[in-house]
Structure formats: C-alpha cells, structure tokens
Amino acid sequence: MARVTSGRPRLRRSVRCSLVFVAALGAGGLSSTAQAAPAHPASAAATFCKKIPTAALSSDFGTKVKLLASAPSALGEYDCAFGKSLTDMASQIGIGYNPHLPGTVAEHLAAIKHELGGFVAKPYASIGGTTYSWTATVTGVKESGMVSFNGLREYSVSVNKRMPLPVLARMLKLVVGAA
C-alpha cells in the first residue's frame, strides 16, 4: 500500500477506493471478463465479498442491493461493489478490506485528506480498533463512510450520500465480520 519515494512512504487513498472501483465499473472501465477473472487474488476478493450479507446491507442502506462486482486492487485490497445497478451511482456501496496495510493510521488519514481536500474524519469508538467516520464532497457528490484500522488490517465502507453514523457503523461491522 505504500510506495517509497525520496525515503518517505507515499500512501494511496484507501478509504474511497471502493467508490472509485464502483465508478470504474459504472463507466464501463472493467469488462465482465475482467470482473470474473479466475486469478488467485480475484477469487480471494470474490470469497470475501460473498461473505457480506446482502439482506443486512440492504436493510441498513434502505434499498435492496446485490453484489455487483468484486476485484482485488493492485496493492492487495479486496474491493466490493454493491448496489441496484452499475449505472445507478446513488444506490451503490463501496466496501474495502486490506489484510496487510503498511504505515500508520496518522499517515493514512493524512494521505486521504491530502487527496480529497475537503475530507473530514472524526473518531468513532464503537467498532474496535481505530475507527473514523468521514465525509467529503468530491466533484459535487456528497460522500460518507467509515474506516477502521486494526493492526495491519483496514476495513472501509463508503457511499455516495450522507448517512447517519449508526447506520455506517452497522455496515462496517458487516465488513469486519466477513473478514
């Protein structure tokens, strides 16, 4: 997850990775063949994503959703896209899980804030590990989510709308439970 440049780790934005993944799918950025590629990491991502209970996720989100796609990132994170359809961005949920996250929580929050600009993170204590809720407005879209760091593991959920913290926390617990 880190790339060393000039002796300092350069961390990629991980919190919003799943929404970026969802957007790429909706824009036709990944073919159906690429989504279902039988490579070892893809099967691990698919296995993880299938463990997330869609009925509970749908209940929390307020509309029926299904698993649209799963894929591993180049840096080892498992990305899952849930929603009604690939073209309905308002109904999509991005979920991420990274079992081997290098760096510190402070480094990751600083990298996210740098990349998002208007990113606001607030501590949230009811999940375990070090958990933050966050909001951001990116290209006019109000986004919200939660990220939890527990040792080298990172769990995240993000949506293209503002949601109450207890709802985001329930959704994040589904991610933690699936890992």
pLDDT of amino acid 132: 87
Please say if the pLDDT value at position 163 is more than 80: yes
Q: What is the CATH number for 97?
A: 3.40.1000
pLDDT of amino acid 21: 46
Q: Is 56 contained in some domain?
A: yes
Q: Is 94 contained in some domain?
A: yes
Residue 178 — very low, low, confident or very high, per pLDDT cuts 50/70/90? Answer: very high
pLDDT of amino acid 25: 45
**For 44-68, what is each residue's pLDDT tens digit?**
889 999 999 999 999 999 999 999 9
Q: Is 4 contained in some domain?
A: no
Q: Please state the domain count of the chain.
A: 1
Please say if the pLDDT value at position 104 is more than 50: yes
Q: Is 173 contained in some domain?
A: yes
Q: Is 5 contained in some domain?
A: no
**pTM of the model as a whole:** 0.75
Q: For the chain, how far is it from start to end, CA to CA, in angstroms?
A: 18
Query: What is the average per-residue pLDDT within 99-118?
Result: 76
Please say if the pLDDT value at position 6 is more than 60: no
Q: Is 170 contained in some domain?
A: yes
Please say if the pLDDT value at position 135 is more than 50: yes
pLDDT of amino acid 118: 67
Give me the domain span that covers residue 166: 10-178
Q: Is 167 contained in some domain?
A: yes
pLDDT of amino acid 41: 66
Q: Is 17 contained in some domain?
A: yes
